Chains A and B, each alone.
Chain A
Amino acid sequence: MTFTHIVSKNLRYNFKRFLSYLFVNSFVVAVLFMYGSLLFNEILAKDIAMKLVSDYIEIAAYAIILFSIAFVSYTGIYFVKSRGKEFGVYLTLGMTTRDLMRMVIFESFVVVIGSAICGIAAGLLVSKLFYLILAKILGLTADIYFISYKTYLLSLGVFLFVFLCNLLFTSTFIRKLSIIQIAKASSTKGLAKSRPVIGGVAAVVFIASLWSFHATLTGNEWLNDLMGDDQSTWLLADMMAMFVSLYFAIASGIDAVRAIFARFPALYNRNILILSSLSHRFFTYKVSLYIVSLLIALSLFFTGFGLSIYSYTKKTIDEYVPFDFMIESTHGINVIGKNEIKAIVEANGGAVGTFSAFEYIRNENYRAFSGQFVYFNKASFIVSETNFNKHMNMSVDVAPDELLLVHNQKGEEQEKVDYDSLLTVEPWRAGNARAEAFRQNPTNADRFVKSLGDIARLKYEQPKTRTMYASFIDSYGNVEFESVMANVVDDSVYDSLRQEEHSTAYLFNLKSGDGSAIFAALLDALRDKNNDQSLWSTAQAQLGVKDQAEYLRPIYKAERIDVMLRINGFMFFSFAFMGLLFLMSSIVVLYYKIVTDVDEEKEKISLLKKIGLTGAECRSYLQAHLAILFFTPLVIGGIPVLFLLHASFGFTVYAGYLMARVLMLYGLFALMNTVFYLTLRKKFFRGAGLAA
């Protein structure tokens, strides 16, 4: 019998405990690996959609690395403390701390190697699966699976680092503490003092920062004045405050529950077992509730955010692109006539349905509020009332001194008109440059008007301005599906601008025919017209520059929807992927908690049975314990996130719709949680020595 013999025997004896420890550590490696597969995905990185998401992915890095550190240390500390008695016996029998450390290091070595291998293997497998499933759901055709060597470095690097820190903790634990303290560690590991004052302050801070975050997003005036331009710093500070205060608030929440129950002895007695165990294992309850709540919050936030962007775009695309096709003819580009278009459509086996040649003049908007003169940055143009009525089949009437602002984004028409309008008309590039110069060096209205020289301009007073919503054009800006605005004016006013550059948008629907073939033919015809065969090689071209052919690619609705689904699909994919990682992490934390609790509960249950607890009473106690762990985080983590997402939907009339989607997602979370709860409950009952 040698030392190695004892060590290996020890490993075998603690096999079950080791297995769960190995499992959670492998899991952390796998999560890091999967996250790395997204962060270092070179295929995805090339996609424009990813440029929009990359900030969020980097933010998630902090969360994931923090989680890994917290979780690996938590399990590590628990693992060591729960074996305090065993260590105590070794030390009492005369094993030196050096020998004990050698044993622990050997064990750690097994755990590290095991976790690394299992974790990477699971990470490879599960990430591949995730990519496949998500790509399928989102209808992505391209193969987006890519594993860089950096992914390996990240997952193993972070894991090893945390693990080494853990080993350091263990060695300090063993060296510093007396045998008695080490041996007692497992029965005192849950004790912690309650701190009602800190807890109360934390709860106030938590609610205040939640409110502040909400108010900042929804544009609370008082708060906006207070923070000035530093909105993002402010929001970040709010987030940090929320994260930190939640920890202390949860602790005081547990105390508060106990204190309230204690006031009603009958109620307290009825729940004495679960209430006393809440305070007895205060620390582990506190920590696991906090970690799980945070993970659920992050998961719901990422998935909900991705889902709402996706849903919003899908919901609004018909407003932004009401017609099957649009050809914008301007600045001598895309010069084509109605008959030519019809001929091309028919030559390719199609038939044109509704057709409209919609004429307008590009302009820039400046607005004079009381005491402030600003540039209003939005793609916009001037339309005569006759042209507008003909195009929309409406009968709006605008007097010469009146202005009708037509928005193609629902909800914008409800914004208050508290300004006079100044519309300037000049060639697109010059107008754009003037606006840019004004933004750099703002002046007052008078000086600006003087600087215009003989540039055409229209002025309208606030009382003479009204607004409406109409989906009147296929809008495109330099951001996908940016909304536009039409300034509808009296015909006489429009006629006065006859010297200016006019544009025409040919907007039409197909009655029949193969849209893609017709679109290809239209593109070919227009390439000929523009004398440039290299135009428009990709549908992902930047749009919005109005005097260059490359940027005036005709719009084909089906193609735009494809592009939209691709961009938003990628975004949704990335967000959902991160959401899933957080959700899985929360499940594993719960799993580990249950596994570690089972032994303790088993002892307790066998004692309670001797005292005369019936099977049903034991089950109801265990069930309460489990239900607290499973469902409180759903409330603590979920409700604030729902609140914050609600705030971020303030900009759109579809807030209700988006909220409903997010609530459905929350419902799905709750359902999954319940299923998982029911599954683990059985295992828990059995583990604690009760038939399920």
Chain B
Amino acid sequence: MSDIIQVDRLSKIYRSFKGAKEVKALDNISFTAAKGDFIGIMGPSGSGKTSLLNVLSGVDTATSGEVTIDGKSIAKLTKDDLALFRRRQIGYIFQDFNLLDSLTLKENIALPLILDHVPAQQIESRVDDMMSFFGIADLAGKYQYHVSGGQKQRVAAARALIPEPAVVFADEPTGNLDSKSASDIMDMLTQMNEQRASTILMVTHDAFAASYCKRIIFIKDGQINLQIQRAGDRKAFFDKILEILSVMRGDAQ
């Protein structure tokens, strides 16, 4: 399998601000992800999880190091190319959903395609398809303030997947959800990963959500602390994650 994400000695340093010390959010991180991978990134608050995701998705720039996604080095892209790259190659699922108030849920899902000038009929069929995949076909004409958090996150997932991106980034997708909705959305992500062969990179601090992943990278102080691979059933993996987390916490103390 070819590597779809290659991260090579990536560093991100936040310059000192208002007299605070400069912060090394990412310190020489390297890893790769193959097509069809489902990777979880875990670590305590301030460990650099979100910084990593921002740099990978091109929302933020790295201080040094290289990120290659689907054969393209994102540091070399111009601002506009980067925008187009994000639109076509990257799907993004946010903790707070980030749906537009003014659009119906269906329009929200269609937005990446609309922005890309895909013909209207094609949009129609692809979006309908995606909505039934996520079990939200009946919400088409509704607005985001009409529906629950779990439903919003499904819409956001559908939006992330609609352009058939090379990679889907998920930033704490269960962070704002109750446990039922959280397990629903994780099932969805697993389905995406298995049935549609989507490559997913998810940042989370929730061990339960992480247990759905195939592989987990633990980050601490901007560095990769540990990587584990799932083997066998989810329950065992979940226990393993909890164990590692408690060890890491112990280290910290």
Contacts and interface: CB of A to CB of B under 8 A. Distances in A.
A and B form one complex:
yes
Interface of A: 187-188, 265-266, 268-270, 272-273, 276-277, 279-281, 604, 607, 609-617
A611 B115 contact: yes
Interface residues of B, number: 32
29 contacts: A187-B101, A187-B145, A265-B120, A265-B121, A265-B123, A265-B124, A269-B110, A269-B114, A269-B123, A272-B107, A272-B111, A272-B114, A276-B102, A276-B107, A607-B100, A609-B59, A609-B83, A610-B57, A610-B98, A611-B115, A612-B90, A612-B112, A613-B87, A614-B84, A615-B79, A615-B80, A615-B83, A616-B80, A617-B83
Interface in B74-133: 79-80, 83-88, 90, 92, 94, 98, 100-103, 107, 110-112, 114-115, 117, 119-121, 123-124
A280 B83 contact: no
A226 B57 CA distance: 72
Nearest to B59: A610
B115 A612 contact: yes
B84, B101, B107, B121 — most chain A CB neighbours (10 Å): B101
Nearest to B79: A615
* Chain B binding surface SS class: helix
A611 B102 CA distance: 16
Contacts of A265: 120-121, 123-124
A646 to B, nearest CB: 40
B107 A266 contact: no
A609 B82 CA distance: 10
Contacts of A268: 120
Contacts of A607: 98, 100
Contacts of A610: 57, 59, 86, 92, 94, 98
B112 A281 contact: no
Contact of A276 (B80, B84, B100): B100
A280 B101 contact: yes
Interface in B130-167: 145, 159
A187 B98 CA distance: 14
Nearest to B160: A611
B112 A269 contact: no
Interface of B: 57, 59, 79-80, 83-88, 90, 92, 94, 98, 100-103, 107, 110-112, 114-115, 117, 119-121, 123-124, 145, 159
Nearest to B113: A269
A277 B115 contact: no
Contacts of B90: 612
A615 B82 CA distance: 11
Contacts of B88: 612
Contacts of A613: 83, 87, 115
A320 B44 CA distance: 92
A611 B120 contact: no
Contact of B80 (A277, A604, A614): A614
A279 B102 CA distance: 8
List of 8 A-B pairs having minimum Cβ-Cβ separation, nearest first: A612-B87, A280-B102, A265-B120, A612-B86, A614-B83, A276-B102, A614-B80, A269-B114
Contacts of A277: 102
Given A276-B107, A611-B115, A266 B120 contact: yes
B83, B145, B159 — most chain A CB neighbours (10 Å): B83
A320 to B, nearest CB: 61
Contacts of A273: 102
Given A187-B145, A611-B111, A604 B83 contact: no
Given A280-B102, A610-B59, A269 B120 contact: yes
B119 A272 contact: no
A188, A268, A612, A613 — most chain B CB neighbours (10 Å): A612
A280 B103 CA distance: 8
A280 B80 CA distance: 28
A318 B85 CA distance: 72
A187 B99 CA distance: 13
Contacts of A612: 83-88, 90, 112, 115
Nearest to A271: B114
Contacts of A279: 102
B179 to A, nearest CB: 24
A612 B74 CA distance: 14
Given A270-B114, A272-B111, A617-B83, 19 more contacts: A265-B120, A266-B120, A268-B120, A269-B114, A269-B117, A272-B103, A276-B100, A276-B103, A276-B107, A610-B98, A611-B86, A611-B112, A611-B159, A612-B87, A612-B88, A612-B115, A613-B115, A615-B79, A617-B115
